[in-house]
Structure 1
Amino acid sequence: MLSENQLSEFKENGCLVIENFKPSEELEELRQAALNLVKDFDTSSHTEAFRESVGWNATEYFLSSGDKIAYFFETNAFGDDGQLTSPPEFCLNKLGHAMHDLHPVFDKFSRDPRLEEILGDIGVDAPEIWQSMYIFKQPRIGDPIDWHQDATYFSTRPQSVKAFWFAIDDATQENGCLWVANKCSPLRQHFVIEEDQTVMKTLDKTPWPDLEDAKPLEVSAGTLILFDGLLPHFSAPNTSDLPRHAYTLHVVDGKSKYSKQNWLQRQDDFPVRGFT
């Protein structure tokens, strides 16, 4: 699947951009599936903002979402009265974290045989899909995501997590595209559960890259971005009038040891799956 040049680029940079990976028909099918989930969601039952649900005080709603389809709002989606300022489809930050196992459209999109082939090319021999997220990045209120490494949340020994990031819309600097460092670096943090509490452990005090050392990934809808779990990346807020929908998958190698302290765990009655 991957050419020698692509393999070399990924090995050197920890990131690979593959344009025109998904056709527009699949993008629109996934978008509509996400919007239908939002349409069926009872907003009165839950009003949690994503940025308030993670970190030092992760909520039970977030921590129990690994085997569900959960709904997280943008921080600025609520007015002073605590009510949504717009219809839910314009206020949600994301859906997560098990659509790939619970919804047929997401399952089909996620288990594209080419993705398994790509993983084999880069040495992931027993892939397990641990997480899926549909990210809305709403116009004007789409929250920024700070510098981080995905292995912080999906630590394995040896480190093996890889991310697939699919552009459902065109991604630009104005609507909050991804920014990446120029290479992988030591894992700085591990988000763990200890004694029923969430803790962000510091593993390495290497500073996050300066902005001038980061590269924006402005890509067209249908593009796939593959990146390593040790690659620092972030996204700026959406300051435009256009959405920046994206879909992500996090995959680890089943031959590695998945940390029992990772926030996302699966129970025996809902085991993690690969591409079958």
Structure 2
Amino acid sequence: MTILTSEQLEQWRDDGYLVLPGFYSEQDTQEMLDRAQQLCIDFKIEGHPLTTFKTEADGEHVGDDYFLGSNDKIRYFLEPSALSPATPTTPAKLLVPPSQSINKIGHALAPLDSIFHKHTLSSSRITQLAKELGEHESPRVLQSMIICKQPRIGGVVPCHNDSTFLYTDPPSAIGCWIALEDCTPDNGCLSFLPGSHKLSRTASRFVRAQGGGTTFEAVPGIEPNEEKWDEMPGWRQAPCKAGTLVLIHGSVMHKSPPNTSDKSRLIYTFHMIEGGKGVIFDEKNWLQPTQDMPFPALF
């Protein structure tokens, strides 16, 4: 079973991302979509800390214990615009039904949920794809999650690269991004700056702050890029049909617009990092494995 052609491998190396339409069958895609929608329906707001997920590439970012302790759990993170602003006398309240308030669900779907385990860790196609890429000797799977992009309130994801948030030394992150519904410019499809993975440097990383919460920390010895990536020419949108898998190099710059449509844009995504010798994933990273649940090996 061969998945990638030589032309696709060349495109991956040149562009830093690769769109694979029809990677998942219609039946498998529907199974994942049904499960994602059921998880949204099952969400109960009672007792939830109202943790929102902010997508700024720098500055304020989520960092409470609910977020930081999510490696071995399935947790819900809310869309900021789904809540009314809190005041000293009035707590924040949901402005939409709970099932429509969710930004993402994660970060241990692949290990803990039988449907997403089936289509990730138990998928022979995913294993074969990772082997054909040849980027990892011993890939570890982490940060598996559903991202919802709710109708009319799904927020913008600014220009960023994934190695900033899943830092290894040297950088090794690769994302697998699966469309569970059709992704269009109106409901928040991805955009990429092709070839930027060859030029961008992971000069800062998203870490646990010493006093609690999270922050961005400079990577020693790496000078930051002066380029304003978001303003550079050559960006390409990547609209795709449900069942498409998009491979994302950890250093390629990408983004997505807000969902201004009346249609949701549910996707499932997980990342791989090198788990073999010579690559360091340290205790500073915001997402940490536990003794009972280390990052699972794909092969």
Range into which the TM-score falls when normalised by the shorter chain: over 0.9
Equivalent residue for 1:161, pick from 158, 170, 173 = 173
* Residue 131 of structure 2 corresponds to residue 115 of structure 1: no
Measured on the aligned residues, the alpha-carbon RMSD in Å equals 2.0
**Which residue does 2:275 correspond to in 1?**
254
The question of whether the paired residues in 2 share the 8 Å contact of 1:113 and 1:275 is answered with no
Out of 153-162 and 34-43, give the one that drifted further. 34-43
User: Per residue, is there more helix in 1 or in 2?
Assistant: 1
**Which residue does 1:70 correspond to in 2?**
75
**Which residue does 1:129 correspond to in 2?**
141
Structure 1 residue 220: Cα displacement? 0.8
State the alpha-carbon separation in 1 of the partners of residues 157 and 55 from structure 2. Answer: 12
State the alpha-carbon separation in 2 of the partners of residues 78 and 194 from structure 1. Answer: 26
**Structure 1 stretches lacking a partner, 5+ long:** none
**Which residue does 1:219 correspond to in 2?**
240
Out of 24-33 and 54-63, give the one that drifted further. 54-63
- Taking the TM superposition and a 5 Å limit, the aligned residue runs for 1:1-276 are 1-46=3-48, 47-51=50-54, 55-56=60-61, 58-79=63-84, 82-111=92-121, 112-123=123-134, 124-183=136-195, 184=197, 185-197=200-212, 198-203=214-219, 204-209=224-229, 210=231, 212-255=233-276, 256-275=279-298
State the alpha-carbon separation in 2 of the partners of residues 27 and 267 from structure 1. Answer: 30
State the alpha-carbon separation in 1 of the partners of residues 4 and 170 from structure 2. Answer: 23
Secondary structure, counterpart of 1:11 in structure 2: helix
State the alpha-carbon separation in 2 of the partners of residues 83 and 158 from structure 1. Answer: 43
Given the two structures, how large is their TM-score scaled by the length of structure 1? 0.93
Out of 49-58 and 138-147, give the one that drifted further. 49-58
Amino-acid identity (%): 33
Report the residue type matching 1:58 in the other structure.
G
State the alpha-carbon separation in 2 of the partners of residues 139 and 78 from structure 1. Answer: 15
State the alpha-carbon separation in 2 of the partners of residues 52 and 60 from structure 1. Answer: 18
Out of 10-19 and 193-202, give the one that drifted further. 193-202
Secondary structure, counterpart of 2:216 in structure 1: strand
The question of whether the paired residues in 2 share the 8 Å contact of 1:55 and 1:200 is answered with no
Write out per-residue CA displacement over residues 139-171 of structure 1, whole angstroms, 9 at most, x where no aligned residue: 100011111111011111221110000011111
**Structure 2 stretches lacking a partner, 5+ long:** none
Cα distance change of structure 1 residues 196 and 52 upon mapping to structure 2, 3 Å threshold: farther
State the alpha-carbon separation in 2 of the partners of residues 5 and 17 from structure 1. Answer: 12
- How many residues align? The count is 276
The question of whether the paired residues in 2 share the 8 Å contact of 1:154 and 1:259 is answered with no
The question of whether the paired residues in 2 share the 8 Å contact of 1:56 and 1:200 is answered with no
Report the residue type matching 1:265 in the other structure.
Q
Cα distance change of structure 1 residues 177 and 242 upon mapping to structure 2, 3 Å threshold: same
The question of whether the paired residues in 2 share the 8 Å contact of 1:18 and 1:223 is answered with yes
State the alpha-carbon separation in 2 of the partners of residues 161 and 22 from structure 1. Answer: 22
State the alpha-carbon separation in 2 of the partners of residues 49 and 140 from structure 1. Answer: 17
Structure 1 residue 52: Cα displacement? 8.1
Structure 1 residue 57: Cα displacement? 5.6
Write out per-residue CA displacement over residues 82-112 of structure 1, whole angstroms, 9 at most, x where no aligned residue: 3322222222111010011111011001122
State the alpha-carbon separation in 2 of the partners of residues 225 and 89 from structure 1. Answer: 26
User: Per residue, is there more strand in 1 or in 2?
Assistant: 1
